[in-house]
Structure 1
Amino acid sequence: MKKKSIFTLCITVLLSAVLITGSALGATGIWEPFNYYNSDLWEKANGYSNGNMFNCTWRSNNVTNTSDGKMRLALTSSSYNKFDCGELRSKAKTGYGLYEVRMMPAKNPGIVSSFFTYTGPTDGTPWDEIDIEFLGKDTTKVQFNYYTNGVGGNEKIIDLGFDASRDYHTYAFDWQPNRITWYVDGVARHTATTNIPKNPGKIMMNLWNGTGVDSWLGSYNGANPLYAYYDWVRYTSR
Structure 2
Amino acid sequence: MHVHLRIAGALLILTTALTSCRGVSPPEPTAINDTAVAALSTAGLWTETFDRLDPGRWIPSSWSGFWQHPGLTGTFQASNAYVDGKGHLVLALKVQSCGAGLCAQAAEIQSAQRFGFGRYTYRMRAASTSANASKAGRGRSGNISGAFSYVDNSATEIDVEIEGNRPATLNAAVWKGLTQKSYAVLSTGTTLGQGFHTYSYEWRPDRITYFLDGARVWETTQNVPQDPAHIMLNIWPTNDDGWGGQATTGTVYMLVDSVTFEPLP
TM-score (norm 2): 0.73
Q: Within 1, Cα distance between the matches of 2:171 and 2:95?
A: 26
In structure 1, the partner of 2:8 is none
1-structure distance, mates of 2:229, 2:237 = 23
The answer for the alignment partner of 1:112 in structure 2 is 144
Distance in 1 of aligned mates of 2:214 and 2:206:
20
- Quick one: which of 56, 61, 73 aligns to 1:45? 61
Superposed, 1:133-172 pairs within 5 Å as 133-172=161-200
For 2:226, the equivalent position in structure 1 comes to 198
Partner of 2:44: 28
Give 1:216's match in structure 2, choosing from 223, 229, 243. Answer: 243
Counterpart Cα distance in 2 of 1:134 and 1:166: 12
Matches of residues 115-134 of structure 1 in structure 2 within 5 Å?
115-121=147-153, 127-134=155-162
- Is 2:253 the counterpart of 1:227? yes
Structure 1 portions without partners, runs of 5+ = 1-23
Q: Which residue of 1 aligns with 2:113?
A: 92
Residue 16 of structure 1 aligns with which residue? none
After TM superposition, the structure 1 stretch with the greater mean CA deviation from structure 2, 95-104 or 77-86, is 77-86
Deviation by residue 1:146-180 (Cα, 9 ceiling, x = unmatched):
11121255221112121111111100000001100
Residue 52 and residue 128 in structure 1: after superposition, are their counterparts in 2 closer, same or farther (change >3 A)?
farther
Radius of gyration: which is bigger?
Answer: 1
Superposition CA RMSD, Å: 2.2
Aligned to 1:64: 82
Distance in 1 between the 2:88 and 2:142 partners? 24
SS of 1:150's equivalent?
A: coil
Letter in 1 for 2:244: L
- Name structure 2 gaps, 5 residues minimum: 1-39, 128-138
Structure 1 residues 131, 194: closer, same or farther in 2, change over 3 A?
Answer: same
Distance 1:136 1:39, change over 3 A: same
Is the contact between residue 145 and residue 152 of structure 1 (CA under 8 Å) also seen in structure 2?
no
| Separation in 1, partners of 2:159, 2:228 | 14
Change in Cα spacing, 1:47 to 1:179, as seen in structure 2 (3 Å) is closer
Aligned to 2:263: 237
CA contact (8 A) 2:197 2:213 kept: yes
Distance 1:56 1:30, change over 3 A: farther
Length, aligned pairs only: 209
Q: Is the 8 A contact 1:55 1:209 kept in 2?
A: no
**Worse-superposed segment, 36-45 or 154-163:** 154-163
Cα distance in 1 for residues equivalent to 2:104 and 2:61 = 14
SS of residue matched to 2:242: helix
Q: CA deviation at 1:67?
A: 2.2
1:95 maps to a residue whose letter is G
| CA contact 2:67–2:238 (8 Å) conserved in 1 | no
Task: Give percent identity, aligned residues only.
Answer: 25
* Counterpart secondary structure, 2:146: strand
The alpha-carbon distance between structure 1 residues 26 and 196, as it changes in their structure 2 partners (threshold 3 A), is closer
